[in-house]
Chains A and B, each alone.
Chain A
């Protein structure tokens, strides 16, 4: 099972990426291409459900900003 969340962005090369943390210990955010996140599933039947998320804490807007 693959599960991730973060902001969907286009990187400098125009690749669709998710801006995300790669470990709870590391505060840095990285642009990870969707290709990389999903490549283990290539040629498999998949189920995908995608929602835009909104942050509930103050001081930062959600993805609808």
Chain B
């Protein structure tokens, strides 16, 4: 452990945070925290095994909060610090399980980046630890706070489309840069691309449509494999004679690696389709791929109800509503709603809100929006989907909830 004693001074009324895994994601989250106009939170401790990441976070705290931090390379030492009230846990996914459980056992409130562990055994341990600790859990399901989805949820709850009957969702993500280079590229580190990437969407589906009944999924590796780009088998960018759009320099970049996204071995897939039937009978399909063109990186949603239909693309922040029974047979009754105020920030506006909601939930001693219920059901769905793809069978949700009961 090292610290800047001379400058270590923080405001005692604030909720004191320790940040564990001070990489890319933690930077975004903690900047919102330190810029909170109501100054509800403070950052007093940092932990990362990488000194560069640690220094960067330390610099950020100094520049906004004008004080130093206690810095650790072992997260257990940070958890032993009695001054820390709450932690943000944002290391690679396979570390979430142990760190989250240890944090709850140490009596800390926990903001846990998604996913909630990398399989159902890990998820149930985490939600049980959260429940038993009585502390607040918030999962990094930031899209629950994006105005686009907040408004969509409101429209559904207010029955603007009547009863929701059908849903189609698509995520296209131009993320091969890091997904086939960094820790993401091994299934053992994430549980698979469904769990890593579309656990967000499952959380939104549960939030909007309730409990699922059965689920089936397919995934495959169609493009990010040898032959996906004509480069004579080069396994790094620096030896490649035919640069692809995913070219990166040998050092630097998000993963500090220039492994070829096509030829370097990885065991995650690049696309999937999931079909879910909910208890209401609503059928939903959700697709995802990594080989989209850059201009199409987005989430597309369509929800069809008994009285109308809503569609939209997250990046536009607009939801189009079409009434089902429009006697004009034109578009006269179509409405287009703008959801994002100008200047909406990262994750379609969710980043500016979520961590502050977590602070408020701690202050009020209540569960937060993306808390235990959201952690449990989103994981049942996405890990059920992964199970379906792995075992090539339809997964009945009742079988999962019998084996992994909701914390009592």
Are A54 and B343 in touch, CB under 8 angstroms? no
Task: Indicate if A44 sits at the interface (CB-CB under 8 A).
Answer: no
Are B338 and A24 in touch, CB under 8 angstroms? no
Residue numbers in B under 8 Å from A53 (CB-CB): 318, 336-338
Please measure, in the bound complex, the distance between the C-alpha atom of A3 and the C-alpha atom of B320, giving whole angstroms: 15
Total B residues in contact with A, Cβ cutoff 8 Å: 16
A1-60 interface with B by 8 A CB criterion: 3, 5, 21, 24, 27, 51-57
Residue numbers in B under 8 Å from A51 (CB-CB): 320, 331, 334-336
Are A5 and B338 in touch, CB under 8 angstroms? yes
Total A residues in contact with B, Cβ cutoff 8 Å: 13
Are B147 and A57 in touch, CB under 8 angstroms? yes
Task: Indicate if B151 sits at the interface (CB-CB under 8 A).
Answer: yes
Are B147 and A54 in touch, CB under 8 angstroms? no
Residue numbers in B under 8 Å from A62 (CB-CB): 337-338
How many whole Å from A25's CB to the nearest CB in chain B? 9
Please measure, in the bound complex, the distance between the C-alpha atom of A5 and the C-alpha atom of B316, giving whole angstroms: 10
Residue numbers in A under 8 Å from B337 (CB-CB): 53-56, 62
How many whole Å from B175's CB to the nearest CB in chain A? 21
Residue numbers in A under 8 Å from B343 (CB-CB): 24, 27
How many whole Å from B321's CB to the nearest CB in chain A? 10
B339 closest partner in A (C-beta)? A56
Task: Indicate if B342 sits at the interface (CB-CB under 8 A).
Answer: yes
B307-340 interface with A by 8 A CB criterion: 316, 318-320, 331, 334-339
Residue numbers in A under 8 Å from B147 (CB-CB): 56-57
Are B342 and A55 in touch, CB under 8 angstroms? no
Are A21 and B342 in touch, CB under 8 angstroms? yes
Task: Indicate if B341 sits at the interface (CB-CB under 8 A).
Answer: yes
Are B341 and A54 in touch, CB under 8 angstroms? no
Residue in A5, A52, A56 whose CB lies within 8 Å of B151 = A56
How many whole Å from A22's CB to the nearest CB in chain B? 11
Residue numbers in A under 8 Å from B339 (CB-CB): 56-57
Are A55 and B338 in touch, CB under 8 angstroms? yes
How many whole Å from B119's CB to the nearest CB in chain A? 38
Q: Ordered nearest first, which 9 A-B pairs have the shortest CB separation?
A: A51-B336, A53-B336, A56-B151, A56-B337, A56-B339, A55-B338, A53-B338, A54-B337, A57-B341
Please measure, in the bound complex, the distance between the C-alpha atom of A63 and the C-alpha atom of B334, giving whole angstroms: 14
| Given A21-B342, A53-B336, A53-B337, 20 extra CB contacts under 8 A | A3-B316, A5-B318, A5-B338, A24-B343, A27-B343, A51-B336, A52-B336, A53-B318, A53-B338, A54-B335, A54-B336, A54-B337, A54-B338, A55-B337, A55-B338, A56-B151, A56-B319, A56-B337, A57-B147, A62-B338
Residue numbers in A under 8 Å from B338 (CB-CB): 5, 53-56, 62
Residue numbers in B under 8 Å from A5 (CB-CB): 318, 338
